[in-house]
Amino acid sequence: MNREQLFEQIKKKRSFLCVGLDSDILKIPAHLKETSDPIFAFNKEIIDATQDLCVAYKPNLAFYESLGVSGWESLEKTVHYIREKYPEQFIIADAKRGDIGNTSNLYARAFFDRMDFDAVTVAPYMGEDSVKPFMTYLDKWVILLALTSNKGAFDFQFIKNDENGEQLFETVLKTSQQWGTGDNMMYVVGATKAEKLEEIRTIVPDHFLLVPGVGAQGGSLQEVAKYGMNEQCGLLVNSSRGIIYASNDTDFAEKARAAAMEVQVDMEELLLEAELL
Amino acid sequence: MNREQLFEQIKKKRSFLCVGLDSDILKIPAHLKETSDPIFAFNKEIIDATQDLCVAYKPNLAFYESLGVSGWESLEKTVHYIREKYPEQFIIADAKRGDIGNTSNLYARAFFDRMDFDAVTVAPYMGEDSVKPFMTYLDKWVILLALTSNKGAFDFQFIKNDENGEQLFETVLKTSQQWGTGDNMMYVVGATKAEKLEEIRTIVPDHFLLVPGVGAQGGSLQEVAKYGMNEQCGLLVNSSRGIIYASNDTDFAEKARAAAMEVQVDMEELLLEAELL
């Protein structure tokens, strides 16, 4: 999916919500555990219940890998299901990969050839050759970690460079712009650091940002929109636990829909305020 | 496996070689492609042919993920095979993972509960809570990226901190020592940066280092040993392509053994010179 198509979807759905499929076998409703593939059964119902309210889904790979082969099967089925039934959805592999070029090539093969993801999250530590192999596919995206939503973000991401005073996350934003464009790169910026978005927008005014951390992690959607929205919206705001675990009973899909709708209504208002609708 | 046991193996095998299982379906000998699980068949022969010459195996996850479910099956079978038949081997998941605590927990479950790896490579960008979940398992290890062997290492890893002049990889080494000990943490330091090992040893004198980049990437084993060896050896030097693809014909296992032996003979000499045997 390209940038224009993504913005079209945002306008059509009146939403820039990404639903995070952090589907944990230990947390899904008990009645699903008797089905042959509980994780896929859970995802399918969540997707059917939320697909008109969001523009993206983001399976978090750790949850699938923790189940081994069967988890990987559930993941492949989930991506295939979305792609077949809701082809207008943008599908993100939240994988935080990144290795020497030779190896990143293989990860790209895994997520873009083997499965039909639109984007993959990548960690920047290993630099250019670890990131670029993901950008050789037409209309596929790298989403590079810039400023993450967790406490550990303070360990290294704010270190100031003695040559120019830039913080590490700023250097990541600046340097990586030489590797790709706003048509094949996005950045992860945590909602818990919303006050930094203004600064970030001076460096990457046009790029889409994937924003985790609204909801369970405490970030504010209004702040994110205030400082982060651009002329093509430029935001995909993720919510995982707040939506998919809104209930852990037989009404989980209905409650997930209600939770997603609450976010979508707020997003519609923010898009209207920004005169994007 | 704990540190003492690892050093015992190094002395017994007279080797600190780690064989990297970067097993690529496009590169393995043609005659194996007709078996039901070519990647496992390849790994099994490589392992049987090299196990007395090395102390560790390191499957590179990208190669398995690129094959989807069947790749994940080959990986699980490979780890199981090593664990059952050669329990004295140290098994490293070269996965370069790292995510918010909640998610890193699940990756730890994948590699240490679901599969019985001894260690997993982790990227430091997201800081403490992305790394610590891997250290809650007894005798399991995090191998944190410090200074990598690729060209992209120069993009961020050498950035100097304006507060103390430390380069980023040095800060990673120093900060992360508060998270674990030499009994549950190692560091990745590329052989292509061997001249940096002297400096690195002033920061982490006792930790084991996993050193990729000897062989295909051009690093020198002698230099690595000269600057990096400590009283417990403290080195696991990885070779992947130079060993596993020494031949791509029916003699591949025999040629892999010969290539591994060449490295082992050099390592034995270096261990003798250091008076560790």
pLDDT digits (tens, 9 = 90+) for A63-90: 999 999 999 999 999 999 999 999 999 9
Q: What's the CA angle centered on A240, arms A222 and A67, to 5 degrees?
A: 160
Distance, CA of A15 to CA of A71 (rounded, Å) = 30
Interval A168-183 mean pLDDT: 97
The per-residue pLDDT for A213 is: 85
The per-residue pLDDT for A191 is: 87
Q: Which of residues 179-208 of A touch B (CB under 8 A)?
A: none
**Which residues are within 8 A (CB) of A51 and not within 5 positions of it... i.e. 6 or more apart?**
A85, A86, A89
User: Among residues B77, B96, B226, B255, which one is catalytic?
Assistant: B96
Using a CB–CB cutoff of 8 Å, tell me whether A66 touches chain B: yes
CB atoms A150 and B69 under 8 Å:
no
Distance, CA of B202 to CA of A220 (rounded, Å) = 44
pLDDT tens by residue, chain B, 277 residues? 999 999 999 999 999 999 999 999 999 999 999 999 999 999 999 999 999 999 999 999 999 999 999 999 999 999 999 999 999 999 999 999 999 999 999 999 999 999 999 999 999 999 999 999 999 999 999 999 999 999 999 999 999 999 999 999 999 999 999 999 999 999 999 988 888 999 999 999 999 999 998 877 778 999 999 999 999 999 999 999 999 999 999 999 999 999 999 999 999 999 999 999 9
Chain B interface disruption, residue of A120, A125, A148, most B CBs within 10 A: A125
Residue B214's domain spans which residues?
3-273
Using a CB–CB cutoff of 8 Å, tell me whether B147 touches chain A: no
The per-residue pLDDT for A236 is: 98
Instruction: List the single residue in A66, A123, A159 with the smallest CB-CB distance to B109.
Output: A66
Using a CB–CB cutoff of 8 Å, tell me whether A161 touches chain B: yes
Using a CB–CB cutoff of 8 Å, tell me whether A97 touches chain B: yes
Query: Which tokens is A25 given?
Result: 């076998």
What three-state secondary structure class fits A180? coil
What chain B residue is nearest to A108 in terms of C-alpha separation? B66
Do A116 and A83 meet the contact criterion of CB atoms below 8 Å apart? yes
The per-residue pLDDT for B268 is: 98
CATH number of residue A127's parent domain = 3.20.20.70
Q: Which of residues 41-60 of B touch A (CB under 8 A)?
A: 60
The per-residue pLDDT for A218 is: 78
pLDDT > 70: percent of chain B: 100
The rounded Cα B159 to chain-centroid distance in angstroms is 25
Q: Among A223, A225, A258, which residue's Cα sits nearest to residue A242?
A: A258
Interval A143-158 mean pLDDT: 96
Q: Among B248, B132, B63, which residue's Cα sits nearest to residue A100?
A: B63
Do A93 and A68 meet the contact criterion of CB atoms below 8 Å apart? no
What chain A residue is nearest to B241 in terms of C-alpha separation? A102
Beta-strand pair A56-59/A17-21: parallel
What chain B residue is nearest to A157 in terms of C-alpha separation? B125
More confident call, A162 vs B215: A162
Respond yes or no: is residue A96 known to be catalytic.
yes
The per-residue pLDDT for A16 is: 98
The per-residue pLDDT for B190 is: 92
The per-residue pLDDT for A254 is: 98
Query: Which tokens is B220 given?
Result: 């020198």
The per-residue pLDDT for A136 is: 95
Do A20 and A60 meet the contact criterion of CB atoms below 8 Å apart? yes
CB atoms A152 and B131 under 8 Å:
yes
What three-state secondary structure class fits B54? coil
DSSP string, B236-264: EEEESHHHHTS-SSTTHHHHHHHHHHHHH
User: Among residues A96, A132, A226, A255, which one is catalytic?
Assistant: A96
Query: Is the pLDDT confidence value at A96 over 80?
Result: yes
Do A41 and A74 meet the contact criterion of CB atoms below 8 Å apart? no
Q: Among A264, A247, A217, which residue's Cα sits nearest to residue A42?
A: A247
What three-state secondary structure class fits B224? helix
Q: Which of residues 255-274 of A touch B (CB under 8 A)?
A: none
| Count of domains observed in chain B | 1
What chain A residue is nearest to B94 in terms of C-alpha separation? A99
The per-residue pLDDT for A84 is: 98
pLDDT digits (tens, 9 = 90+) for B180-213: 999 999 999 998 888 899 999 999 999 999 999 8
Chain B residues with CB-CB distance to A148 below 8 A: 100, 125-126
Backbone angles phi, psi at A217, to 5 degrees: -90, -5
Chain A residues with CB-CB distance to B93 below 8 A: none
What three-state secondary structure class fits A91? strand
Interval A224-233 mean pLDDT: 96
Look-up: residue for tokens 């070779």?
Answer: B239
Query: Which tokens is B101 given?
Result: 């605590």
Q: Among B135, B44, B146, B57, which residue's Cα sits nearest to residue B93?
A: B57
pLDDT digits (tens, 9 = 90+) for A184-227: 999 999 988 888 999 999 999 999 999 998 877 778 999 999 99
Q: Among A188, A198, A190, which residue's Cα sits nearest to residue A220?
A: A190
Interval A19-47 mean pLDDT: 96
B94 CA to chain A: closest CA distance, Å?
Answer: 9
Query: Which tokens is B255 given?
Result: 């040629």
ipTM of the complex: 0.96
Interval A118-140 mean pLDDT: 97
Q: Exposed (0-12), middle (13-18) or buried (19+): which is B275, by Cβ within 10 Å?
A: exposed
Distance, CA of A268 to CA of A274 (rounded, Å) = 10
The per-residue pLDDT for B194 is: 83
What three-state secondary structure class fits B2? coil
Distance, CA of A199 to CA of B233 (rounded, Å) = 47
B210 CA to chain A: closest CA distance, Å?
Answer: 15
Tell me the pLDDT band of A46, cut-offs 50, 70 and 90. very high
Q: Among B186, B124, B99, B144, which residue's Cα sits nearest to residue A157?
A: B124
Chain A interface disruption, residue of B23, B58, B109, B126, most A CBs within 10 A: B126
Do B44 and B82 meet the contact criterion of CB atoms below 8 Å apart? no
Distance, CA of A158 to CA of A167 (rounded, Å) = 5
Instruction: List the single residue in A103, A123, A152 with the smallest CB-CB distance to B128.
Output: A152
Residues A174-207: b if buried by 16+ CB within 10 A, e if exposed: ebbeebbebebbbbbbbbbbbebbeebbebbeeb
The per-residue pLDDT for B177 is: 96
Size (chain B), residues: 277
Interval A116-121 mean pLDDT: 98
Q: What is the dihedral of CA B82, B85, B86, B91, to 10 degrees?
A: 20
Using a CB–CB cutoff of 8 Å, tell me whether A63 touches chain B: yes
Q: What is the mean pLDDT of chain A?
A: 96
Question: Between chain A and chain B, how many beta carbons pairs sit less than 8 Å apart?
Answer: 192
DSSP string, A93-144: EEEEE---HHHHHHHHIIIIIIS--SEEEE--TT-HHHHGGGGSSTT-EEEE
CB atoms B127 and A72 under 8 Å:
no
Size (chain A), residues: 277
